[in-house]
Structure 1
Amino acid sequence: MTYSAEAPAVWDPTFADANDCQLSSDQCVVHAQHYFVKGMIEIPIVGSDAMFSWGVWVSLSRENFSRSADLWDTRGREAGRPYFGWLTTDLPVYSPTTLNLKTHVHTRPVGERPYVELEPTDHALAVEQRAGITMDRVREIAEAVIHSGSSEER
């Protein structure tokens, strides 16, 4: 029950050949000026121990991106403070857009994607992260994502 964006909203396939741009499954750099990491927004499913997850991209400052990269393979890295970032994935089932929502990126143990915590606002995505969603909502999201073709199921 995970849907994942392949790249930040600002990524353009023409960047792939540029020396100052890089896109991997976990990190992205655009024109050596904009830095992104991939993380997971986890939403509890009401009445279940299961989670629904969005694989999203978050922009980080150069300093935070550098710190994240320096600690990438370091055991115990999850003990560090979270990074502030801006959500740079436009999730197709939310209006208004999810672009530029404030986040905190919590590093997890090596091999696990970071946990993305949204600022507690009244945006529907932030409310769902705090309150959870029903299985009916999961099905609604799945149908919308499949029809939009904008994310890949994992």
Structure 2
Amino acid sequence: MLWSVSSDFGFLCSCCGEEHDGLPFGYGVLAPAYWNDDLEGGRGNSLDGERCVIGEERFFLRARLILPVVDSENDFEWAVWISLSQSNFTHATQLWTSPERVHEPPYFGWLSTELPTYEPTTLNLKTLMHSQPVGVRPTVELEPTDHPLAVEQRSGITLARVQAIAEQLQHPRR
């Protein structure tokens, strides 16, 4: 289930022909792609707003994948989940409330969110997760490949692309 963050920009939707208030400049999901409701309450499973553990074997942190918008002062953000090794997860969570965390080198991880609008899948793209100041969610840097999401992160997107994402998510094809 996706949630969105809107800006003040309204837009005329090319799918339904209606004027929509607020062009969303970000979307996110509540859990990694590998989480399902049957895991809740199970031994070794936990999910909160920023961390997820599955079976005491898989470890995830929430992060921000930022796409620059070349014709706007706003950036577009996907709130994503990154799979980390147990040692990196433990280290990152130990430093979660420490101002020193900004001095940490990036953590290698795997993108664990399947983002709509992208083909091929975004699952398991290689990432580097960069710690931010306390109170700010980490950021994600994708491996510089030819995957469309990695290209968009490097090159940026336009307001027209932001609108196309909004239209596709508000009016999914069945």
Q: TM-score range by the shorter chain?
A: over 0.9
| In the alignment, structure 1 residue 131 sits paired with structure 2 residue 148 | no
Tell me what 1:146 maps to.
Answer: 170
Q: Where does the alignment leave 5 or more consecutive residues of structure 1 unmatched? A: 149-154
**Match of 2:171, SS?**
helix
Q: Where does the alignment leave 5 or more consecutive residues of structure 2 unmatched? A: 1-24
CA distance in 2, matches of 1:64, 1:104: 12
Tell me what 1:152 maps to.
Answer: none
How far has the Cα of 1:19 moved from its partner? Answer: 2.5
* Correspondence for 2:106 among 67, 82, 106: 82
- Identity across the alignment (%): 48
Equivalent position amino acid for 1:52 in 2? F
CA RMSD of aligned residues (A): 0.9
* Structure with bigger RCO (C-alpha 8 Å, 6+ apart): 1
TM-score normalised per structure 1? 0.94
| In the alignment, structure 1 residue 52 sits paired with structure 2 residue 76 | yes
CA distance in 1, matches of 2:171, 2:135: 31
> How big is each residue's C-alpha offset from its partner over 1:64-89, in whole Å with a ceiling of 9 and x where there is no partner?
00001100000131111010000010
Q: How many residues align?
A: 148
Output aligned runs, 1:105-120, within 5 Å. 105-120=129-144
TM-score normalised per structure 2? 0.83
How far has the Cα of 1:145 moved from its partner? Answer: 2.1
Q: Which has the higher helix share?
A: 1
